[in-house]
Structure 1
Amino acid sequence: MSIKVLLAEDMHMVRGALVALLDLEPDIDVVAEVADGNDIVPRALALRPDVAVIDIDLPGTDGLTAAAALRDELPGCRTLILTSLGRPGTFRRALAAGVRGFILKDAPPQQLAQAIRRVEKGERVVDPELAMAAWDSGDNPLTERETEVLRLAADGAEAAEIAARLYLSVGTVRNYLTSSVVKLGARNRLDAVRIAREAGWV
């Protein structure tokens, strides 16, 4: 029986290339292609794929949030993250979301098909260098709420907009941002965003 795969990638050319690559494998069948993170769970529930190959940076719901939702709503579908962002913090967030595999887009093409087969069997597939970097890196010093506030700030939201979205006061949002700057040893909010992004925490 073929391994049924859902592929989530927003760049049309990259998605097409991946589908063409996987179509060469006799035991892998791409049953769905999506470009928006909001479509992952509904399509997966409709088609019941064995493996979901998901890019992290998607419009709508980001790949890691979609992976966590997929784990909760369709536990039989295993998730493989395919990304150009080989950051230890991102890798740790992927593990927390229940992802079974994490490989980089610049890996040799044959690694993707092999990773899909291994993930479908229940194995964990991780780029070894990335695993070592995650092992050596420190934990995210920010609280969950500080991370959430900084993530919205990284997307360009002002304090008032963040406050409205998270049902907080503007003063509380500013306190979270100030705390993030201090904890990260940053010069200002923009520097805090840069540090957190480079670490893969936002």
Structure 2
Amino acid sequence: MPPVQPRSPEEESVREEAVADRASVQEFVAAQRPRRADARRNFDALLAAAREAFAEQGADASLEDIARRAGVGIGTLYRNFPTRRHLFETVYAEEVDALCVLADELGGRPAWEALTTWIDRFVEYTVTKRAVREGLNGESGIFVSCRVSMMGAGEPLLRRAQDSGEARTDVDFDDLLRMIAGIAATTFPTAEQRDRVVGIALDGVRAARG
């Protein structure tokens, strides 16, 4: 197996761009969060309810239903998210920020375990992403920053698995995400079958033993 090559100047430039975009996403997320503790609890409950509703019903999920799931009134929802677009963008940015935070937290795990744990969370994120993109028709400035920051957070996990000899070196991170996103976009009878198929795909990314 050929050794993993060090980053080129172009790759370093991409990494620096990812750092800048991640900061933009973090600032966007932080700017949305209320200061008061009780308001933050309502805000978090609404985001959790929105993710759940989008996963079940897609982009047309009822705002009234989201408020009900969160245990708050519709007025509280509108105080936090004045428009449906605002809710979509905030849910999406929070999901991407969570993926970036997870990538940081996995730094001390064994390389292959870290990569597959992150991919498992990415599969869950794709459900939310699909609903949000449908709702906004892909027209949102936050999408670009979110994608760049997510790629910048997850790519080092693949590189570490490659450096340790646990992942094939002829696969790049874009290849990996396109493959997993394609699987996640397929309708499965159960989540268990979906996860099994993702596992089969990841077996193809793992370096041959012996």
- Please, what TM-score do these two structures have when normalized by structure 2? 0.29
Q: Higher relative CO (CA 8 A, sep ≥ 6), structure 1 or 2?
A: 2
Q: Which is helix-richer, 1 or 2?
A: 2
Q: Which is strand-richer, 1 or 2?
A: 1
